[in-house]
Amino acid sequence: PQTEAEALLEGEETAQKPVLQLHQKYIVSSIRSGLMIVQQQLAHERILYEKYLHILADAKSYSQRLLFPEVLNLHGTDFTLLKEIMPEIRSLGFELEEFGRNAFMVNAIPVDLKVQDGQNILEKILEDYKNTQGTEKLGKGEKLARAMAKNASIKVGKTLNHDEMRNLIDELFGCEMPYYSPDGKPALITISTDELDKKFKKI
């Protein structure tokens, strides 16, 4: 069955509608039936999650080589885990090689990551990947795509310009499941004009 948001947005043309950012967290846009409010971080997680799933399926990624390769030192269990998921890690655009005991040399990272974030994101990806083990029936690729999306997404607190907000909404509605984050949280909600009218009538 459709959610309320899905029903209100059915057949809605979201392109070229006015948008504004609220509290560096939400993107608000008018729709025919009222208002649509997008949570920027959760929406971007959905966009990146589906993008990374496609990259893993197609085995086509793009990397940027680091001018100064970084050494990633890990605990023994994390080192073993990273070796286990190395094919998927490489498919996403990371280039790593073993470098001594419990360490990897990071030579390249995916093009959509900031160079200074490469090592930190790998550590966070491993942590988030471990947190999904045993709790859900997900494959390695899905777990990794979730962890990657969570750590590479636009965060709450980031100011977005008009084009960035517009592109985020357009990319969200290009997703197979635009209404929810990979974790199942609402990426957007709608408020109908009828709901607004009822609230003002109570005043």
pLDDT tens digits for 100-146? Answer: 899 999 999 998 888 777 778 899 999 998 887 766 678 889 999 99
Return all residues near 164 (Cβ < 8 A) that are at least 6 apart.
Answer: none
With contact defined as beta carbons under 8 Å apart, do 39 and 26 qualify? yes
| Residue 203: band (very low, low, confident or very high) from pLDDT cuts 50, 70, 90 | low
Walk across the sheet containing 95-98 and list its strands.
63-73, 103-110, 95-98
Helical segments of the chain, H only: 4-9, 40-58, 76-84, 86-91, 118-132, 140-152, 162-172, 193-201
Residue 93 reports pLDDT greater than 70: yes
Each residue of 169-202: pLDDT tens digit?
999 999 999 999 999 999 999 999 999 999 998 6
- What average pLDDT does the structure give for the chain? 89
Per-position DSSP letters for 137-171, written without gaps between them: ---HHHHHHHHHHHHHSPPTT----HHHHHHHHHH
Distance CA 151, CA 184 (A): 16
Quote the pLDDT of residue 112: 84
- What domains are there in the chain, each with its CATH number? 4-46+156-201 (3.30.1540.20), 60-152 (3.30.1370.100)
% the chain with pLDDT above 70: 89
| Residue 62: band (very low, low, confident or very high) from pLDDT cuts 50, 70, 90 | confident
Distance CA 180, CA 138 (A): 17
